[in-house]
Structure 1
Amino acid sequence: MAEIIGIHQKPVLSAEARLRAIVDSSFDAIVGKDLNSIISDWNPAAERMFGYTAEEAIGRSVLMLIPENQRSEEVDIIDKIKKGERIASFETVRLRKDGSKINVSLTISPIKDPNGNIVGASKIARDITATKESERRIRLLLREVNHRVKNQFAVILSVIRETANRTQNNDEFLARVRDRITALSRSHDLLVSSDWEGASLFELAQEHLKPFGHEERITLSGPLVMLTPNAVQYLGMTVHELGTNAAKYGALSDAVGRISVTWQILTRPG
């Protein structure tokens, strides 16, 4: 005779209990409402997103979550739900309890009774505030990059025109353009390292005089002066030209010459 010992039956959740567990554990806000826009269901994520407890939200109109100038959205949504029409997911703005706005992506589905009649709607709201902020930053960055590229083109064209006016043959033109574009690249590297905030005059002079060598014969002194991005590019070209002239005709063209670069801040009276 066989004996069966220790059989344990794992409790089985009902379909309703499983659904409730899914709704309660969702990271997205899930809100149920009737056809009069009165809130009937409010999951924990909705509490976190909007700031209202379930007790505060259930029984109140969903309009409390919608900015006044966007409440026509709710009228359109209810009309479509009543007609059984599908509502595509869309992005919009909603209100928190403290009055602050939140960017959300909404997915809306009809709720039907056992007879198939539409009695309400469920809304799933996903917080996309961080995504929107990233998109805003990208747009700003693209505009800034576009501005900087155009500015760089303008500087390069200016360099080419100026060089063409001061050279006698193609070889000299190519050599001077190459050197000047390289100098412009040094200024660009300084700006990139500072996230285009600018650079100090000391850094700029040091960077542009370094390629000529003889660093032990070059002295830089002066107070801290921060330059704007445009000033870095144009003043960088000036320092490069001074270094070029010193290397060809001035202090760096012999074995003993020295360069001393000094600057000061002057204040105007009054």
Structure 2
Amino acid sequence: MTGRPLTLAAIDLTSYFPDALILKDLSGVILQWNSGAERMFGYRPEEIIGRNIRDIVPSDRQAELATITDRLRSGDVFSEFQTERRTKDGTILSVALWIFPVRDALGEIVGAVKIARDMSRIKANEEKLQLRASEAEHRAKNILAAATATVRLSTAATVDELKSVIHGRLRAIADVTGFGGVGQPVPLDRIVANELLCAGSNRLQATWDGPTVLLDPDQAQSMALILHELTTNCLKYGALSQPEGRVRVEWASFWNRIDFHWTESGLSDVAPPTRSGFGSQLIRTVADRQLKGRPAFFWRSTGLSFRLSFDLKAISSEEEVRPFPACGAMSWPPLAPPPAPGSNTHF
């Protein structure tokens, strides 16, 4: 210091300025401290004015102060200098600094004004956006892979039938993405309702019931394919192909595991199929490879019963879940016991 007073007469330190605005001399002593600095760093003006700027600089950033001071003496200006600073409670903030030299009446550089902007929230949002973009890319690749496999593996007797088969399976995949948005968890009851209602079944023939279960997007896609195959088979050959037929879908959740039941009734003299079709093969493949579960098919004289258990993937607490109205009944009874031994066929 030269002994001449250092003031901010020409600098507006209004209380409404959102960023931290700090005046210091070349030795680092803090001379003025606005309300933005108080909000950001936690120090009241009377606590910090007169102390050295080093008190808000982390130990691993102390060396940069000498560089800043040397450049200030040369008249350099710092624009959006990315660094870190420490708050009163010890929190380390990511900040961007704008630093301008202050001259006295004779034109000599006697100090500096620093504008500090808290970038912690901005950086956190940027990281979250990058994560979401990465997840969206991952989901898109999974959807494309599923669509490609569906087209490659689908078979039918005629071209028109093949088109219909492929369209139905791709529609099931696409609907799941639309329910919650890319990368968002999807309620299981939404998937069940969509498949049964899109198939044209009514609530007199098809009912579903179970607690709220949110599925990871990959698992939701897998369950949509499984439900699509069950529903398609049911419409062609099962309970929904007959006016008296009924379908009951139930699920229960125990800790992080789900127990899913599909039960058809109202038919008579149902016999197990003599061969395994593509639909059942797809169900087994998706259940085993994607859900890491074990499916079981039971053929009773009154209709098919299908069981599947698998572990739920963890869902990030930061993910936003869009609310959906309940699609099933308001209450649900305990799941019916499995058919008696001797009346089932496993796949």
TM-score (norm: length of structure 2): 0.64
Deviation at 1:89, TM superposition (A): 2.6
**One-letter amino acid of the structure 1 residue matched with residue 126 of structure 2:** E
Instruction: Provide the residue aligned with 2:54 in structure 1.
Output: 63
1:181-215, Cα deviation, whole Å (9 max, x unpaired): 1122222233439x722322x43222211122231
Structure 1 residue 172 corresponds to structure 2 residue 123: no
In 2, Cα distance between equivalents of 1:226 and 1:233 = 12
Return the match for 2:43 from 41, 48, 52.
52
Identity %: 34
Structure 1 residue 23 corresponds to structure 2 residue 13: yes
CA RMSD of aligned residues (A): 2.6
Instruction: Provide the residue aligned with 1:32 in structure 2.
Output: 23
Structure 1 residue 139 corresponds to structure 2 residue 116: no
The residue correspondences of 1:78-117 to structure 2 (distance < 5 A) are 78-117=69-108
1:140-188, Cα deviation, whole Å (9 max, x unpaired): 211221111111112111211221xx23443332221111111222222
In 1, Cα distance between equivalents of 2:48 and 2:251 = 67
Instruction: Provide the residue aligned with 2:225 in structure 1.
Output: 237
In 1, Cα distance between equivalents of 2:21 and 2:209 = 65
**Number of aligned positions between the proteins:** 247
User: Is 1:29–1:126's contact at 8 Å kept on the other side of the alignment?
Assistant: yes
Instruction: Provide the residue aligned with 1:248 in structure 2.
Output: 236
Deviation at 1:18, TM superposition (A): 6.1
User: Is 1:199–1:227's contact at 8 Å kept on the other side of the alignment?
Assistant: yes
Structure 1 residue 203 corresponds to structure 2 residue 190: yes
1:49-96, Cα deviation, whole Å (9 max, x unpaired): 212222322222211111111222212111101122232232322111
Cα 1:108–1:170 change in 2 (3 A) is same
Cα 1:223–1:33 change in 2 (3 A) is closer
More strand by share: 2
Segments of 5+ residues of structure 1 without an aligned counterpart are: 1-15
SS state of the match for residue 152, structure 1?
A: helix
SS state of the match for residue 98, structure 2?
A: strand
**One-letter amino acid of the structure 1 residue matched with residue 102 of structure 2:** I
In 2, Cα distance between equivalents of 1:89 and 1:128 = 11
In 2, Cα distance between equivalents of 1:225 and 1:109 = 56
Deviation at 1:263, TM superposition (A): 4.8
Return the match for 1:73 from 64, 81, 87.
64
Q: Which has the larger radius of gyration?
A: 1
**One-letter amino acid of the structure 2 residue matched with residue 141 of structure 1:** R
Instruction: Provide the residue aligned with 1:123 in structure 2.
Output: 114
Segments of 5+ residues of structure 2 without an aligned counterpart are: 1-6, 253-258, 260-308, 311-347
**One-letter amino acid of the structure 1 residue matched with residue 241 of structure 2:** S
Instruction: Provide the residue aligned with 2:284 in structure 1.
Output: none
User: Is 1:198–1:226's contact at 8 Å kept on the other side of the alignment?
Assistant: yes
Cα 1:58–1:255 change in 2 (3 A) is closer
SS state of the match for residue 120, structure 1?
A: strand
More helix by share: 1
